[in-house]
């Protein structure tokens, strides 16, 4: 993937406003609703084709509906398909959580009075419904636009150009943050700078037209775009909204210096956002050993076009027996850094001594402390 910012940013192209996509960029809608199409197609004796669905990422609903009906040879019109499936989607929207770094970015832009808009290929009514489940989001955006409010949705530039117009900012001074290729193309068609945070890991190498490609919003550095930098790091650690991981430990017994693999349970595999990538830390609860500090690397490994989630953890403590195969519950409360270069898969997920030292020190601070009475630890 590309680096974190442009090679150079001339005064003529200084960023004055930011435009965010919604689904897959700041809201984990895909995870919350990913089983909907599978359940719907099963009623017609059909199975989901993951490749076809990846290619539909970012499309407008009407366009997507027509292609689904055609691709799966459904005995429905696109309108009938939409009428049947939309209630299934809307029922899941309350479960869609903010993606890591989304609330941080929104609060940061608002605090520094940077105009920022939401421009989505969803209909405006549906955007409003999704936003209603996230306190403050509707009020904080300078502009909120859906595809039904312009002549053409993405990849047409209409949405982004209209957002810029309503904010009173020239398109050349806008930075777009997108997760889909459709959105990235729309951004470039509008003459804007664009940061891509791909929601499809397998397609990440296809985002070469973006000015910058990141794994996660936690990697975004606004100062590289002439925007105020984040000042929320605590020593060498970034507080994040807690992530919950459960699974089985697999690896070398009785050696805290060697990372253990975590085989996630189904709930974790379904709920953990694809955009969670990097080296994190938190609290590990072992079924027979109690609570330990932990450093965790999370990312994706691509082999033969197939993406596999990789989760490795170093538990900062000593064990008097083999813990491999034990049940583990992990609360991730902080972020340290992005993963190493993925050119060498064997070292991409490596956890360094410095990571352990940073995690050890951070977890002694009140902001990262473990308290079983807190709501985040009450599952």
- If one counts every other C-beta atom within 10 angstroms of the C-beta of residue 340, the result is 15
Half-sphere exposure of 41 (CA within 13 A, CB side): 18
Domain boundary among 48, 75, 94: 94
Residues 200 and 347 in one domain: no
Q: Are residues 242 and 106 in the same domain?
A: no
- Per DSSP, which regions of the chain are E strands? 17-20, 116-119, 143-145, 174-178, 193-196, 212-213, 238-250, 260-264, 278-286, 290-303, 306-316, 327-337
**Quick one: pLDDT at residue 210?**
95
1 lies in a domain?
no
* Same structural domain, 17 and 141: yes
- Per-residue pLDDT of the chain in tens (379 residues, 90 and over written 9): 454 456 555 555 689 999 999 999 999 998 888 888 888 888 888 888 877 777 777 677 788 888 888 889 888 898 988 898 889 889 999 999 999 999 999 999 999 999 999 999 999 999 999 999 998 999 999 999 999 999 999 999 999 999 999 999 999 999 999 999 999 999 999 999 999 999 877 777 788 999 999 999 999 999 999 999 999 999 999 999 999 999 988 865 555 566 888 999 988 888 899 899 999 999 999 877 788 999 999 999 887 778 889 999 998 877 666 777 788 899 999 999 999 875 555 678 999 999 999 999 999 999 998 765 554 454 3
Taking only Cα atoms into account, the Rg of the chain, rounded to an integer number of angstroms, comes to 21
pLDDT at 257: 61
What domain range is 345 assigned to? Answer: 238-370
**Number of domains present in the structure of the chain:** 3
Q: Among 16, 8, 20, which Cα is nearest to 220's?
A: 20
Per the DSSP assignment, residues forming a β-bridge with 98 are: 27
- The answer as to whether 80 is a domain residue is yes
In a domain, 361, yes or no: yes
Please report, to the nearest 10 degrees, the dihedral formed by the alpha carbons of residues 302, 307, 309, 314 taken in order: 0
Same domain, 141 and 252: no
In a shared domain, residues 219 and 341:
no
Residue that finishes a domain, picked among 50, 71, 94: 94
164 and 20 in one domain? yes
Residues noted as catalytic:
21, 23
pTM passes above 0.85: yes
Q: Which residue has the tokens 């020190």?
A: 361
Q: Are residues 108 and 216 in the same domain?
A: yes
Whether 291 and 154 map to the same domain: the answer is no
Six-digit token string for 2: 């590309």
């Amino acid at each position: 993937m590309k680096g974190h910012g442009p090679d150079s940013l001339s005064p003529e192209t200084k960023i004055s406003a930011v435009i965010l996509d919604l689904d897959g960029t700041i809201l984990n809608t895909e995870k919350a609703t990913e089983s909907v199409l599978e359940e719907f197609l099963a009623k017609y004796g059909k199975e989901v084709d993951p490749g076809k669905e990846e290619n539909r990422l970012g499309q407008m609903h009407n366009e997507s509906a027509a292609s689904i009906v055609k691709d799966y040879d459904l005995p429905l019109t696109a309108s009938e398909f939409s009428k049947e499936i939309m209630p299934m989607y809307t029922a899941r929207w309350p479960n869609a959580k903010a993606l890591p770094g989304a609330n941080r970015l929104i609060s940061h832009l608002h605090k520094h009075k940077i105009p920022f808009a939401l421009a989505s290929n969803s209909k405006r009514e549906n955007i409003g419904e999704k936003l209603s489940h996230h306190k403050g989001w509707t009020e904080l955006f300078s502009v909120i636009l859906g595809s039904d409010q312009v002549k053409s949705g993405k990849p047409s530039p209409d949405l982004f150009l209209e957002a810029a117009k309503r904010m009173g900012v020239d398109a050349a001074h806008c930075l777009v943050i997108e997760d889909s290729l459709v959105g990235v193309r729309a951004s470039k068609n509008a003459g804007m700078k664009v940061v891509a945070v791909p929601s499809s890991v397998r397609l990440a190498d296809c985002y070469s037209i973006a000015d910058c490609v990141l794994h996660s919003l936690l990697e975004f550095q606004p100062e590289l775009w002439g925007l105020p930098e984040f000042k929320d790091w605590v020593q060498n650690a970034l507080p994040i909204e807690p992530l919950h991981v459960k699974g089985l430990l697999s690896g070398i017994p009785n050696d805290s210096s060697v990372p253990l693999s975590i085989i996630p349970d189904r709930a974790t595999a379904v709920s953990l956002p694809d955009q969670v990538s990097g080296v994190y830390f938190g609290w590990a609860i072992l079924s027979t050993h109690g609570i330990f500090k932990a450093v965790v690397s999370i990312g994706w490994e691509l082999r033969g076009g197939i993406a596999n989630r990789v989760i490795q953890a170093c538990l900062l403590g000593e064990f008097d027996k083999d813990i491999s195969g034990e049940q583990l519950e992990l609360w991730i409360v902080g972020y340290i850094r992005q993963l190493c270069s993925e050119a060498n898969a064997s070292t991409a997920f490596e956890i360094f001594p410095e990571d352990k030292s940073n995690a050890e020190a951070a977890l002694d601070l009140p902001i990262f402390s473990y308290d079983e009475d807190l709501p985040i630890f009450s599952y």
